Amino acid sequence: MLTLPAPAKLNLFLHVIGRRHDGYHLLQTVFRFLDFSDELSFELRKDSVIKLHMSTAIIPEEENLCVRAAKLLQQESGAAQGVDIFLKKQIPMGGGLGGGSSDAATTLLALNQLWGLGWEKNGLMKLGVKLGADVPVFIFGRSAFAEGIGEKLAPIELPSAWYLVLVPSVQISTAKIFASKELTRNTIPIKIPHFPIWQGHNDLESVVCRAYPEVANYLEWLKQLDNTTIVRMSGSGSCVFAEFATEIAAKAAVEQIPAGINGFIAQGLNRHPMCISMD
Ligand SMILES: C[C@@](CO)(OP(=O)(O)O)[C@H](O)COP(=O)(O)OP(=O)(O)OC[C@H]1O[C@@H](n2ccc(N)nc2=O)[C@H](O)[C@@H]1O
Ligand SMILES: Nc1ncnc2c1ncn2[C@@H]1O[C@H](COP(=O)(O)OP(=O)(O)O)[C@@H](O)[C@H]1O
């Protein structure tokens, strides 16, 4: 049995700078991993079946991104073996924290090893983007500045930071937010090496806040905290976060969360937790 983490990510900013002919949006974003993860275990099977095991079935098995990733890799590589996948979810779904994409990436990395395929990272990333625009960065394995639809990646080293993440009670469809008529799609492109992250913004934030007042209220609450360096929504929401330079400041903030609001603190990582075995 091989047990591996699938970490959450934050988009420290997310600028929409244009749109492709197929409707996908051109982005500029910074991805950062968190030490807050789902857990996946993999056990080889004697037959070619791919089977998912979860304590509570959140979505139909064949739609789960782990199963879709395993089937796609099996099909593209011609692997004859199957696998039992055991998934423990911790990352909120539809929260803009990339949990489904991270589960898919961990599945591709694990099966490349277990099935003895020997694919290079680049090949896995190209396969990954067919499952979702967010999948490649989890295979890339480093904090990154991303362009294109999120798949053109350049590594960056970010200063150490802790994050208070608030989890509104709504799940948000990424496709619906990108389809909004109100979305600003013409933010002026920036040159990342010289761009201070705190000056960035998330173009999806105002669209989400209008449709989901709970997200707007959570952001307002974070903005009144002391010692924050950034307060923003991640991806297409619903989660919002505040960045702190020290763990002490993040812990002081988490203690102030009003009853009934769900949140957690996590440390920002510059490397995917599987990175040591991936490089
Ligand atoms: C917004 C972001 C920011 O990191 O994260 P999430 O909020 O989903 O975590 C990503 O771009 C989401 O990536 P991912 O969740 O993998 O999206 P996909 O499954 O590829 O796309 C879902 C839908 O969103 C739209 N989409 C996605 C990415 C993109 N660059 N432009 C788009 O227009 C498309 O309509 C697509 O059909
Ligand atoms: N393993 C998975 N974990 C979470 N969501 C999944 C998974 N497989 C498929 N999905 C689908 O993908 C959608 C987006 O998932 P998720 O990655 O959690 O959110 P986001 O794209 O907002 O970061 C979910 O609403 C769900 O329908």
pLDDT tens for 25-47 read 999 999 999 999 999 999 999 99
**What is the tens place of the pLDDT at every residue in 139-148?**
999 999 999 9
Check if the interface score ipTM surpasses 0.90. Answer: yes
Whose CA is closest to atom 3 on ligand 2?
Answer: 100
Q: Is 133 in the pocket of ligand 1 (CB under 6 A)?
A: yes
User: Do 2-156 and 162-269 show the same overall fold?
Assistant: no
Counting ligand 1 atoms within 8 A of each CB, the residue from 134, 187, 238 with the most, and so the one to mutate, is: 134
How far apart are the CA of 132 and the centre of ligand 1, in A? 7
Q: What is the number of other CB atoms lying within 10 angstroms of the CB of residue 155?
A: 12
Q: Domain 2-156 classified CATH 3.30.230.10? A: yes
Q: List the chain domain ranges.
A: 2-156, 162-269
Measured at the alpha carbon of residue 150, what is the angle toward residues 129 and 192, in degrees to the nearest 5? 150
Q: Which ligand is nearest to the CA of 174?
A: 1
Judged against a pLDDT cut of 50, whether residue 279 lies above it is answered with no
Q: What are phi and psi of 240, to 5 degrees?
A: -125, 155
CA-based end-to-end distance of the chain: 21
Q: Which residues are catalytic?
A: 9, 134
- Do 26 and 147 touch, CB atoms closer than 8 A? yes
d(CA 168, CA 212): 9
Q: In sequence order, which residues have a C-beta less than 8 Å from that of residue 67 and are 6 or more positions away?
A: 50, 52, 61, 85
Q: Is 107 in the pocket of ligand 1 (CB under 6 A)?
A: no
Q: Which ligand is nearest to the CA of 66?
A: 2
Does 141 show up as a binding residue in the annotation? Answer: no
Q: Which ligand is nearest to the CA of 89?
A: 2
**What is the tens place of the pLDDT at every residue in 56-113?**
878 999 999 999 999 999 999 999 999 999 999 999 999 999 999 999 999 999 999 9
Task: Over range 2-12, report the average pLDDT.
Answer: 98
Does 236 show up as a binding residue in the annotation? Answer: no
Judged against a pLDDT cut of 80, whether residue 222 lies above it is answered with yes
pLDDT of residue 180: 97
Pocket of ligand 2 (CB under 6 A): 59, 63-66, 93-101, 103, 171, 174, 235-236
Does 233 show up as a binding residue in the annotation? Answer: no
Does 95 show up as a binding residue in the annotation? Answer: yes
Q: Domain 162-269 classified CATH 3.30.70.890? A: yes
Confidence of residue 194 (pLDDT cuts 50, 70, 90): confident
d(CA 51, CA 53): 7
Whose CA is closest to atom 27 on ligand 1?
Answer: 24
